[in-house]
Amino acid sequence: MATEGKNLSYYDESDLPDTSEMRIGLVVSEWNSDITENLLKGAIETLHRLGIDDERITVWHVPGSFELVYGAGRMQKNKFIDAIIAIGSIIRGETPHFEFVSQATAQGIKDLNVQGETPVIFCVLTDDNKQQAIERSGGKHGNKGVESAVAAIKMAWLKKNS
């Protein structure tokens, strides 16, 4: 398990660039909203802690993780956004649907990163069960939203300075 022994909420603030001019967008799936709202909360609290106020944060909701790609693609067209965090939660069920949605979402976000000018951070949990999702959205493994906010700041800096 990739998160075994790792806390997703740990970061060293001194390693991060200045955020005073950064604008971050978040596209959030409504499916498994108890999980995605925890991820969103972790991301926004981290952005606030690192100096990005609500006026420089844009949040859009989409129905499910599959729709994150479209939402993030539309947000990329906003030239004022420096990085986007795509937040979703896909939990394995009894059919192959999990694999289809997980793969399509990952490929779509990868394509946005390759083809677009604005980086899109993959904050989509793909867990075998609800308990794993809980553990990664504010539970014993921390909050992937925190880690994604830090990644967004680093990638926004790269976008502005490359």
CATH number for the domain spanning 84: value is 3.40.50.960
Q: Would 91 be classed as within a structural domain?
A: yes
Q: Would 14 be classed as within a structural domain?
A: no
97 noted as active-site residue: yes
Q: Would 109 be classed as within a structural domain?
A: yes
pLDDT for the residue numbered 6: 66
Task: Domain count for the chain, please give it.
Answer: 1
pLDDT for the residue numbered 7: 73
Domain extent, residue 103, equals 30-160
CA distance 80 to 12: 27
Could you say which of 48, 61, 97, 141 is catalytic? 97
Q: Would 48 be classed as within a structural domain?
A: yes
Report the chain (162 residues): mean pLDDT per 10 consecutive residues.
62 84 97 98 97 97 98 94 98 90 97 97 97 94 96 96 88
CB distance 127 to 136 below 8 Å = yes
Q: Would 19 be classed as within a structural domain?
A: no
CB distance 81 to 23 below 8 Å = yes
